[in-house]
Amino acid sequence: MLLLLLLPVALLLPSTLGDDKIIGGREAANDSHPYMASMNIEIFGLVRKRCAGFLIREDVVMTAAHCYVRFRDLNKISVVLGAHNVRKPGANSQKIDVRHQIVHPKYRRKTKHNDIMLLQLTQKAKLNDQVQLIGLPAKGEAVQPGTVCRVAGWDRTSLWNWKSLNVLLEVDLPVRRDQVCEKAFYTYTAQVQMCAGNSSRKRSAFRVDSEGALVCNGTAHGILSYGRRRRTFPQVFAKVSSFIPWIESELKKLKP
C-alpha cells in the first residue's frame, strides 16, 4: 500500500534524478569545495531528491536545466550551502529557499542542449570559509584538451535506495576533444557542450548526471549534463562560456 501511495509522488520528480554516483572518486576534504550547493526538492514533506549546483552570486546558484522542478505549488525547493554531509549539515551550513527557477529559453530536454538553469534564492548567502562563490569563464573561453579538471557532488538519496552516500565526493577528469563525444553521442554539439572523462573507464563523474561544476584552474567551465548508464566514458557538460551573455543578462534582471 505504501508503494502505491508513493508512486504518484515519484512521478512528479525530475525524470533525470536517480541513484547516481562518482565512479572511482574519493571523499573530498572538508571545505574544499565551498561553492557547492545541494538543491533539495521536498514533496508533501515525504520524499526528498537532490541536484547539485554551485554558488555564482550571493543569491544565485547555477545548476542544470534538467533539474527544473514542475508543480511548484506541490514542491518546496531549497539549497543547502557549506555542507559536507547533506544529511547531517554542520553548524555553519546554510539552508535558503529558492524564489525563482530560470531555465535557458533554448533548453531542449531530449538533446540536453543548453542544459543550464539559474536559481534565485530568497536571501543572500553569508560568505565564509565554508560558503564561497566560484568564478565563471569569459565569453567563448575554451579549455584545452588534456587539461585536468575536477568535479564534485553528492551521491543522492533515492526513493528506492536507502543506503546512498551523502558526503561530498570528487574526481579528476581530463577534458577531451569534441570528436570523442561526437562519436559517442549523435546529439553532442561543441558550440554549447564540453567533453570530458577518463578513457580507462575506472573513473568518471556520475553514472548519468549530477549537475556538478567542471572546475578547471579554479573556474566553473562546465555543468555535468549526461553520460551513458553502462559507460563511464565520456561524459558531456554544458559549456558555461557559451552562456555568459545570457547569464549576465539574467543576473541584471534579478534584484537582490
Backbone phi, psi, residue 182, to 5°: -65, -35
For 195-217, give the secondary structure using H, E and C.
Answer: EECCCCCCCEEECCCCCCEEEEC
Which residue out of 38, 59, 66, 225 is catalytically annotated?
66
Name the catalytic one among 59, 104, 209, 210.
210
Query: Of residues 20, 115, 155, 209, which has the active-site annotation?
Result: 115
Among 154, 51, 138, 150, smallest CA distance to 103 is for 51
How many CB atoms are located within 10 Å of the residue 132 CB? 16
Grid-cell match 568518471, residue found: 204
Positive or negative CA dihedral for 50, 155, 37, 204?
A: negative
Number of separate helices (H) and strands (E) present in the chain:
3, 15
Active site residue 66: yes
Contact 235/226 with Cβ under 8 angstroms? Answer: yes
Sheet order of strands, 26-27 included? 26-27, 168-174, 148-154, 213-216, 219-228, 231-239, 193-196
Residues marked as catalytic: 66, 115, 210
